[in-house]
């Protein structure tokens, strides 16, 4: 059930009761009934995906059935963000669906009532010390990257600049790809923000080709905080194929660690395990950039050490996961030894411990970071 916030106090109370991922879906002023139907369809798909993941979902704008009378949408966006727990391991997703404008000075997202500027949104997000993803699916949205990029943030815009002013279709395809198993490029049973961005960008490109029209939108993604952003053409699979200037960090890693609808295996990980996993994956990316500086032996020695730590995280998670015929325990129950037999060795290959990750745990580690 979608969580609607008719009063700011209700939002505060809900946030205090349960700390979980938050998905804020903001539908802008449609302008026409045709655009309104499209934006509503995009919003409904995203809301359904977030609800399936048991996130706290807030919808603002046309289609929000319990909007408080006399309060404009801009104030509701501000109040919703202000009421969230400032510190949490759980992400906040802000999805903007609608039209945008740009006057060569300021980019705006068009709401019913006062519009939302990139600078305003940045100010409201500053108190939040938690992962943040902002996906602006509007025209003229490119400058939002310049205003919003920062540490622990993933910013996606439908256009690469404020000058791409025509209606943007990125939101339609993003709302489809974010939960489409066909978008799962690394085959880890979930679609990351990066994978949805890549799939949606590909579908946008295909749309303009089929229509034999000049593409008027080119989506960008920034997750390093440098406010430059990259296009989907930089990637093959989930791996960037171009090098950043001065061997700088390349966009994509953080976005590939965020999932609007996590897999059951991902949900099984504790916040501490997720944080450690994300750190190890960042270490692997740094190692990859240093590969040319190392001997082959040193490179693979370092690579093995990090991958083993990743595999141990998954092994520990698997050991805690209960099944229909096995209790939640790190050591499976064993039969009593028969007369004359020695007790089974708990460290034998049949019963792997976190110190010796199973082959399945190793495969999960390799799948998350392909080399």
Can you give the residue ranges of every domain in the chain?
A: 8-262, 264-323+347-371
Q: Which option is the CATH number for 8-262: 3.40.50.2000, 3.40.630.30, 3.40.50.1460, 1.10.3720.10?
A: 3.40.50.1460
**pLDDT for the residue numbered 317:** 79
Dihedral (Cα; 242, 248, 251, 252), 10-degree rounding: 80
Question: CA 165 to CA 107: how far, in whole Å?
Answer: 11
For residue 81 the two structure tokens come to 């963000």
pLDDT digits (tens, 9 = 90+) for 227-239: 999 999 999 999 8
Mean pLDDT taken over the chain: 85
Q: What is the pTM of this model?
A: 0.83
Question: CA 212 to CA 272: how far, in whole Å?
Answer: 49
Low-confidence ranges of the chain (pLDDT < 70): 1-18, 66-70, 244, 246-247, 319-371
**pLDDT for the residue numbered 100:** 98
Listed residue (122, 33, 36, 41) closest to 77, CA to CA: 122
For residue 281 the two structure tokens come to 């994956």
**pLDDT for the residue numbered 109:** 98
Sign of the CA dihedral 306, 241, 174, 59?
positive
**pLDDT for the residue numbered 138:** 98
DSSP bridge pairs for 135: 95, 156
**How many residues are recorded in the chain?**
371
DSSP bridge pairs for 264: none
Secondary structure letter of residue 93 according to DSSP = E
- The angle subtended at Cα 346 by Cα 323 and Cα 280, nearest 5°, is 70
Element (H, E) at 57: strand 56-60
Question: CA 252 to CA 370: how far, in whole Å?
Answer: 14
Listed residue (219, 85, 224) closest to 152, CA to CA: 224
Place of tokens 């939108």: 217
| Contact (CB, 8 A) for 210 and 80 | no
Q: Which residues of 171-208 are buried (b: 16+ CB within 10 A; e: fewer)?
A: bbbbbbbbbbeebbbbebebbbbbbbbbbbbebbbebe
Say whether 157 sits in a helix, a strand or coil: strand
CA distances from 262 to 90, 112, 122, 194, 278 (A): 12, 33, 26, 13, 15
**pLDDT for the residue numbered 19:** 77
pLDDT digits (tens, 9 = 90+) for 2-37: 444 444 434 444 444 367 999 999 999 999 999 999
For residue 366 the two structure tokens come to 């390799």
**pLDDT for the residue numbered 290:** 87
Sheet holding 107-109, edge to edge: 100-102, 107-109, 116-117
Place of tokens 């449609």: 30
Count Cβ atoms below 10 Å from residue 162 Cβ, excluding itself. Answer: 24
Q: How far is Cα of residue 263 from the mean position of the Cα atoms in its chain?
A: 13
Question: CA 262 to CA 180: how far, in whole Å?
Answer: 12
């Amino acid at each position: 059930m979608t969580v609607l916030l008719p009063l700011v106090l209700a939002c505060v109370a809900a946030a205090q009761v349960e700390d979980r991922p938050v998905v804020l879906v903001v539908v802008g002023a449609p302008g026409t009934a045709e655009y309104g139907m499209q934006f509503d369809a995009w919003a409904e798909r995203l809301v359904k995906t977030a609800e399936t993941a048991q996130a706290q979902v807030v919808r603002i704008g046309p289609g929000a059935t319990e909007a408080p009378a006399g309060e404009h949408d801009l104030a509701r966006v501000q109040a919703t963000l202000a009421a969230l727990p400032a510190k949490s391991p759980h992400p906040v997703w802000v999805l903007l669906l609608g039209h945008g404008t740009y006057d060569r000075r300021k980019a705006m997202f068009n709401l019913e009532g006062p519009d939302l500027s990139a600078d305003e949104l940045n100010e409201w997000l500053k108190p939040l010390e938690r992962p943040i993803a902002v996906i602006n699916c509007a025209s003229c949205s490119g400058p939002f990257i310049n205003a919003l990029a920062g540490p622990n943030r993933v910013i996606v815009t439908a256009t690469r600049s404020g000058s791409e002013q025509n209606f943007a279709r990125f939101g339609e395809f993003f709302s489809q790809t974010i939960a489409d198993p066909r978008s799962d490029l690394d085959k880890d049973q979930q679609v990351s923000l990066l994978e949805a961005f890549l799939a949606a960008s590909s579908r946008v490109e295909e749309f303009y080709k089929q229509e034999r029209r000049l593409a008027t939108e080119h989506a960008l993604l920034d997750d390093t905080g440098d406010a430059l952003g990259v296009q989907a053409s930089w990637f093959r699979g989930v791996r960037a194929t171009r090098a950043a200037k001065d061997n700088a960090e390349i966009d994509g890693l953080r976005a590939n660690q965020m999932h609007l609808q996590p897999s059951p295996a991902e949900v099984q990980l504790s916040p501490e395990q997720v944080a450690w996993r994300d750190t190890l994956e960042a270490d692997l990316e740094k190692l990859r950039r240093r590969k040319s500086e190392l001997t082959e032996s040193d490179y693979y020695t370092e690579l093995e050490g990090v991958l083993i730590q990743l595999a141990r995280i998954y092994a520990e998670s698997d050991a805690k996961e209960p099944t229909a015929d096995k209790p939640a325990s790190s050591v499976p129950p064993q039969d009593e030894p028969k007369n004359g037999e020695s007790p089974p060795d708990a460290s034998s290959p049949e019963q792997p411990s976190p110190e010796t990750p199973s082959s399945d745990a190793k495969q999960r580690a390799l799948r998350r970071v392909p080399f």
